Chains A and B, each alone.
Chain A
């Protein structure tokens, strides 16, 4: 009988149930946690997850409705059978395994994680199930950071974390209102953020322990194959490409901000491609050190992940960073694919010439055209060669043609048949930068001038708002944000004695584009093609909204710079700056030892005080007894240590019979207090009594 009762009792003790409010809060929490990863999860999985959550919501609803009705069987019904759940889980896992090949390891893992997270919620029977769900949720939030790390997103994740913690806290204080719980959790998080920041700054940054699967996201930004019309697509994207910090120095004029990314030297009649040097022996490639002259400008670039190797810089750029490699065509490559925010600094010599002499092979490469692919252009080129012996004049003539013959710079270029440059140049006469750069380069090559196409970004949005945020870093100027829609293509021609000379045919067609950025007609075109940009365009027109946007961008820049780009190098620099250059390890050692010594001293003092306090803290009744002893000692009666109080009482009786009765009584009470085990009440009574006796004795002794 009793054992049965015990088991029943046990079961009851282990049942864990969330309150109605908390159940729904948990549901919301799950929704938000999954939403944080929704961009990475494939649509079929999202459907499954949504289905599970709906199911969960229905179950919750049923459970609580029945509870209010008071039926006892509700619980049994509201739980779905574990067999069904297992089958569902297994089929889900199989589906994930099947699609794993397409999705890649990381995304499959994310699928598995979210799937497990949703299913776990169906069987919260014990407290530990709930804990597991909570930890899974945290992990979900953390893994969302693998894919996205912007400031806004991080804040959202922080809020989601807060909600998770509120759910957990509500378990332990269910009577507290949601608002109060949220407040307490916020306080908790704020208090811990202090230590977290210290840890973040000081804790050593370690290199990866092992290789992890990377998010194989689609490559973004420029590609190494360009055909006319390509960059126009990129121009519709308002994503950030990279940011530049000129370290407070003067920023070069907009028309000089040609951020070189890729040099394209091969043309097959349709598209421009890169020349692949020494494909067989990439390791044999010698380090390219460009010749430099003039005054350099230095700047930092923080590039967003593009999942490619290209980096951006103003020619002629040099660097001392090991993770970058300079290439002969004056482009910069990262040794690793940019899967993360990458921070690097460059030194550029804007006035320096590029390749004063080039090899014959190179020359031939840059003169090659597919003969007969664009016969009209070839004829025009021949005419130019005959008319202008000077190569510069030939080039200028072509640019003059662009300027005067009513060419249009437009995002909505008419489609060309077979990417025919003839068609563009003589018929449609409307196109984006690549059209002009291609046609110009083709013409130049046909006219016996080595020429090539360069792609990259032009200009960038100058944001001064960050200067107020980091006054130490940038006294004059904030930073430059370069977006995808700043993507551009231009040409380079090689001239004897000058080297590669940048020529931008776009400047001939739409001077505003090169001088200060997009013209308003282009912007309206852009926003009509992409609705997202409509908002941006409207934003830019309203001044206060624009400043707000710029400020947010500045905040995000600081976040990117200080948090996302905080590498071991930055850590080293910062710590060095904090503790100054002069402070060596000796000084550090002195500081540390001083700290330790003070701590030891403090603890010693504390201990010492405690001991003294302990000594002082004798019982009050013992004190009274000792005082009486002192008084008697003054009268010449000293109690030796080996004497018991009772013995001493006897001697007192002999010496001073006057106080014998009182003293014996006093001794008796003291002894009772010393040795007798008494209750608290009795103890009080004794102490009271002893006090009275003490007063009497005191008077009597002084009278002797």
Chain B
């Protein structure tokens, strides 16, 4: 019995998978990805809702009642309700047609945070009851239902007047990485809830999810020399801290060693400043993945993320070196997964570094 049921389940899943694949392929042909979509009979789908079917059932009941009582008024009423069903179908379709949506493809966010996809709506007439939702794809059906609710929330517009409007579609990112989001389902049950009209729009929405920043102890400097091995790094830092010539005072950044705080200035009430040395500027400008104080690579990336944000805030120059913490890798510098971003500063640099973190794939290392 168990075997049978499992076989049955398996085949059911297979069939489901097959169908959804076919549907997906058909959809991608019919409604190809674009940054702008105009709704028309090409991309609008329409189906009676459950209420619609219940309504039809009731209408048939009324017809039976009218026929059994040979009552023409009841029959007339049932015909009227039946044709109302068809009229409402038309109205439901027209409510959704001629809408134009446009949306930019890429969005950035940190893990466990909401990303917002703005969608611009151009309406030539007044539309009612518009709902938007991302459809999560590539997930087993059970998980899908759950994540559908947690990750992509439904956004509802009760009335959309003529003109241009913007709706913001939130999406909760849970994992670091670059995610291709599914289609956006635009649906409406106007005018009487008998029909649901919907369109599956592919804006090629892409979400770049940076790691969740993880706060680090502040009495430590994580910048290091490019060629340092991870093991000697801390010694090197200890040595270099005292020797080098003092160059300037800068605003203290969380993560810098407490030893470097300019206590004198602090006592004078000039704020928390840190002493900087010449040598450090020269070579200790690299943030390395392998230097991060954690075993788990995701946690390390989280730390890096935090540091990148901190250093960018204080307009520090830094470079990023994404290497795995395995010792074997240090020998071979030509590994494809090694990613190096030369030291720089500014918003663009920060963005580049964060994207690199998001895109980093550590599976390739193994």
Q: Which residues of A are interface residues toward B (Cβ below 8 A)?
A: 2, 5-6, 9-10, 13, 127-128, 131, 135, 138-139, 141-143, 145-146, 149, 154, 157, 161, 165, 168-169, 171-176, 184, 188-189, 191-197, 199-200, 203, 205-210, 212, 340, 563-567, 680
Contacts and interface: CB of A to CB of B under 8 A. Distances in A.
B61 A174 contact: no
B67 A188 contact: no
B143 to A, nearest CB: 12
Contact of B74 (A146, A165, A205, A206): A146
Contacts of A165: 84, 192
Given A171-B193, A195-B79, 10 more contacts: A131-B54, A141-B77, A142-B66, A165-B84, A195-B82, A195-B87, A212-B68, A212-B69, A340-B69, A680-B34
Contacts of B88: 188
Most interface-central of A165, A173, A189, A340 (chain B CB within 10 A): A173
Given A173-B158, A192-B83, A9 B149 contact: yes
A563 B73 CA distance: 7
A105 to B, nearest CB: 13
B68 A210 contact: yes
A239 B126 CA distance: 50
Given A145-B77, A168-B193, A184-B191, A173 B69 contact: no
B71 A209 contact: no
A535 to B, nearest CB: 26
B146 interface: yes
13 contacts: A135-B54, A142-B77, A145-B71, A146-B69, A165-B84, A172-B193, A173-B159, A174-B158, A189-B84, A192-B84, A195-B82, A195-B87, A196-B82
A176 B128 CA distance: 9
Contacts of B192: 165, 168-169, 172, 188
A142 B65 contact: yes
Interface in B53-88: 54-55, 58, 61-62, 64-84, 86-88
A199 B83 contact: yes
B129 to A, nearest CB: 5
B91 interface: yes
* Chain A contact residues, majority secondary structure: helix
Given A128-B51, A138-B81, A165-B192, A209 B58 contact: no
B128 A189 contact: no
A142 B82 CA distance: 14
Given A6-B150, A10-B149, A193-B83, A138 B193 contact: no
A514 B61 CA distance: 50
A193 B76 CA distance: 9
B73 A195 contact: no
A188 B91 contact: yes
Interface in B21-72: 34-35, 50-51, 54-55, 58, 61-62, 64-72
B58 A188 contact: no
B190 interface: yes
Contact of B68 (A131, A138, A175, A208): A208
A14 to B, nearest CB: 11
Nearest to A194: B83
A135 B55 contact: yes
B72 A566 contact: yes
A188 B88 CA distance: 7
A340 B70 contact: yes
Given A9-B150, A188-B87, A564 B159 contact: no
B73 A173 contact: no
Contacts of B323: none
Given A135-B55, A173-B191, A188-B191, A195 B86 contact: yes
Given A199-B82, A210-B68, A192 B193 contact: no
B275 to A, nearest CB: 43
B6 to A, nearest CB: 27
A152 B34 CA distance: 56
A207 B128 CA distance: 43
Contacts of A189: 80, 84
Interface string B258-296: 000000000000000000000000000000000000000
Contacts of A192: 80, 83-84, 86-87
Contacts of A176: 128, 159
B160 to A, nearest CB: 10
Interface in B305-334: none
B74 A131 contact: no
B189 interface: yes
Contacts of A6: 146, 149-150
B73 A564 contact: yes
Contacts of B149: 6, 9-10, 13
Interface in B116-151: 128-129, 146, 149-150
A172 B72 contact: no
B188 to A, nearest CB: 8
A173 B190 contact: yes
Contacts of A199: 79, 82-83
B193 A149 contact: no
B139 to A, nearest CB: 15
A567 B189 CA distance: 38
Nearest to A565: B72
User: Which 8 A-B pairs have CB atoms at the shortest separation, nearest pair first?
Assistant: A195-B83, A192-B83, A196-B80, A199-B79, A192-B87, A196-B79, A173-B128, A192-B84
B133 to A, nearest CB: 11
B12 to A, nearest CB: 26
A483 to B, nearest CB: 22
Given A142-B77, A191-B87, A209 B68 contact: yes
A138 B71 CA distance: 16
A6 B51 CA distance: 26
Contacts of B86: 192, 195
A149 B91 contact: no
A139 B51 contact: no
Nearest to B84: A192
Contact of B61 (A139, A196, A206): A139
Nearest to A215: B69
Contacts of B154: 13
B73 A149 contact: yes
